[in-house]
A and B are shown apart, each in its own frame.
Chain A
Amino acid sequence: MTMLGDRQRLAYIASQAADARLNVELETEGMTLNIGPQHPATHGTLRIICRLDGEQVVWAEPSAGYMHRGYEKLTEVRTFPQVTSLVNRIDWLGSFANEVPFILAAEKLMDIEAPPRAQHIRTILFELSRIANVSLFLGDLGVQLGAITPVFMAFRDREYVLNLIESATGGRFHPNFDRIGGLKDDLPKGWIEETRSVMRKLRTFCDEIDDLLFGNEIFQSRTRGIGVIPKDVALQYGMSGANLRASGVDYDLRRDQKIAMAWDKVDFKVWTHPDGDSFARCWVRLQETREATLIVEKLLDTLPAGPVMAKVPRIIKVPEGEAWVSTENPLGEMGYYVVSKGDLGPFRVKIRSASFNNISIVPWLLRGVYVPDVITILASLYFILGDIDR
């Protein structure tokens, strides 16, 4: 209760200060505007309380929690396979990527490793969900800024990736394919050829978005220099993923971490941008999508033969212990801290989701910014409500 009281008091003082400043300087009243929770621009039910002076934001605060589904409490009463199927739904656009760190944590506790073919296919599906997630971001970016056409192209080309995932796993959005010790099943016949042609189509899509959106002067004048996050501020606020790389920090968990996935078996480029403004964040994500298609093709070339499941008992009881695994998810760094007491299910799971930390910078970033730029900044930070609220 004391924590809540402190927070409320701080918010009250900040808003009073903002009002006082307005009243002294201009002798006008500020307007308090609620962006959300029902709003076309926030990716879900995020509420941002802004105090406006004309069209400029004087004070802003995000108020998350409208979509809290109680994941960490749910996992306490579910078994490991059930938790895997639930965890798909945290970041619902790149859903295979949510299962992977959880399964890896469980495998770490059991001290087993998935066979190489399973690791390869896991990485391929992980990169496919990255492509599905970020290509939607690229389309949605246009809508936030007023260009209504790119989003249809994004959905059209994303369909190919979703069809691929469906033919392999059975579910478009919620694959539920990862199991402790490997994967549920192997790939169906013809999948590799199909994937190669889809990757080519996606590169064409990236070029189209480059022409239609990024090359557009209006888009550039809307995003360059807006919402600049310097390197040290980004690190202090715990940003991760493309937001961090767009501020010039060369940090990518795929390359910098030794983990039981196949990223160390391929060469890929980590894209950074020195500016740290909205354009940089969008640009880095575009390049990452292209890079992901190249990674998938290289992984397909080197796919080893073999089983997809290690030798695990029928009823899996994970031994006692605690493990932390985090991976470079499409939205940023996502990690699971799994505490197990030797049961069928985990005792406690702490989910570190990327978007929650990414929007913690919003109060700092939105001061002195115009209302249309608020939308641009939120669009470029790219969060998913399921990821923030869990």
Chain B
Amino acid sequence: MGLKPKVPGLVKGLGVTFNTMMATITKGANTVQYPHEKEAPPLRARGVIALREDNCTSCMLCARSCPDWCIYIEGHKELAPPRRAGGAPRKVNKLDRFDIDYALCMYCGICVEVCPFDALFWSPEYEYSEPKIADLLHDKTKLGEWMETVPEAPELEVGADKKGKK
């Protein structure tokens, strides 16, 4: 096959790369210079799971529905004072242990979705890598600390049903 280059095709390709180069020099690159600049992930981004300990009743729904079985829950029941004077003492759940092993977690979100008491929330925080893999097991104190990074639920688009969940 004769290879007489028809100038337009080859030259157009050169033009594209040249224009990209000039665009990078004048307007800056498309890349984000991590760690000097950081991109903020969207509000719904699945970064880390946060636990609200007060709401959890150890119903075990999240541990059962996790595809990787990475949630470990242990709890016991305690007696708390009655709400009104003269009433019976209430049985309240106290969590002994609520660990999520992020070395196993596949960030699918089933646990957050399935929890009937709104005890688990997604947070877009993603910078929690550790040098030791054992440190990736977040216990309930650490999971409670992530609650501060949980954003407010974003507003929904036009046309959505009014009762939107996060």
Contact = CB atoms under 8 A, between A and B. Distances in A.
Contact of A168 (B10, B44, B166): B44
B161 A307 contact: yes
B109 to A, nearest CB: 6
Interface in A291-310: 303-308
Contact of B159 (A215, A216, A217, A304): A304
A23 B5 CA distance: 40
A46 to B, nearest CB: 25
A221 B3 contact: yes
Contacts of B35: none
B52 interface: no
Interface string B9-39: 1101101110010000000001000000000
Contacts, number: 114
Contacts of A208: 16
A117 interface: yes
B156 A79 contact: no
B67 A217 contact: no
Interface string A151-183: 001001001000100111111001010000000
A213 B17 CA distance: 11
A343 to B, nearest CB: 14
Interface stretch (A24-32, A100-108, A186-194, A371-379): A186-194
Contact of B110 (A82, A169, A191): A82
A256 interface: no
Interface in B145-166: 154-161, 164-166
B59 interface: no
A217 B5 contact: yes
Contacts of A306: 159, 161
Interface in A224-274: none
A224 to B, nearest CB: 9
B113 A186 contact: no
A81 interface: yes
Contacts of B45: 166-167, 170-171
A211 B19 CA distance: 12
B67 A82 contact: yes
Interface residues of A, number: 45
B117 interface: no
A212 B16 contact: yes
Contacts of B44: 166-170, 185, 188
Given A174-B107, A216-B10, A305 B5 contact: no
A86 interface: yes
A34 interface: no
B89 interface: no
A149 interface: yes
A82 B17 contact: no
A9 interface: no
Contacts of B106: 85, 174
Contact of B67 (A78, A169, A171, A211): A78
B98 to A, nearest CB: 20
Interface in B79-131: 106-110, 113-114, 122
B6 interface: yes
A220 B6 CA distance: 12
B159 A176 contact: no
Given A192-B157, A216-B10, A170 B20 contact: no
A189 B16 contact: no
B108 A176 contact: yes
A373 to B, nearest CB: 14
A188 B156 contact: yes
A156 B20 CA distance: 12
21 contacts: A86-B67, A149-B17, A166-B42, A166-B45, A167-B43, A170-B42, A170-B109, A174-B107, A174-B108, A185-B166, A187-B157, A188-B42, A188-B154, A189-B154, A189-B155, A189-B156, A211-B12, A215-B13, A221-B1, A307-B161, A308-B160
The 5 closest A-B pairs by CB, nearest first: A305-B159, A85-B108, A167-B42, A186-B160, A82-B67
